[in-house]
Amino acid sequence: MASSARVFGNSCRTLMAAAKSSAASTAAAEKPKAAGRVTGILKVQPVSPALAKFLGSPEASRSGAVKKIWEYVKSHNLQNPSNKREIYCDDKLKAIFDGNDKVNFQGVAKLLSNHFPKTT
């Protein structure tokens, strides 16, 4: 019994080594994926005139617009100190956020959706 296990053990090691080397060669032969097209919140698209005036650009991505708004809020201290998720709107932000005095930060994406026209 021990001798048959030794025979099969050596054969298995040989087969496993061959399988590993062939798997490594096929993995190396695969081509790297080409960069896909940019879609979703990263896609740069035209924005409304009000948002374009705020951003200083006629086109932006959704994530880029949120980033610029967040920079503006931080630099002008418009964040509620007791509730950090709340933003006080000054005149510039009121133009973007439909005249609201306060905006919850989770609602920013919903309010920005009006400034990104649907493209077909």
Lowest mean pLDDT among 38-42, 73-77, 86-90, 107-111: 38-42
Q: Say yes or no to pLDDT of 82 above 80.
A: yes
2-24 tens-digit pLDDT: 555 565 666 767 777 777 776 66
CB proximity list for 111: less than 8 A, separation 6 or greater: 96, 97, 98, 100, 103
Question: Nearest Cα to 62, choosing from 111, 21, 100?
Answer: 111
The CATH number fitting domain 40-115, selected from 1.10.245.10, 1.10.520.10, 1.10.3720.10, 2.40.10.120: 1.10.245.10
- Compute the mean pLDDT over every residue in the chain, rounded to the nearest whole number: 83
Longest dimension (CA), the chain: 87
Q: Say yes or no to pLDDT of 101 above 70.
A: yes
d(CA 101, CA 93): 9
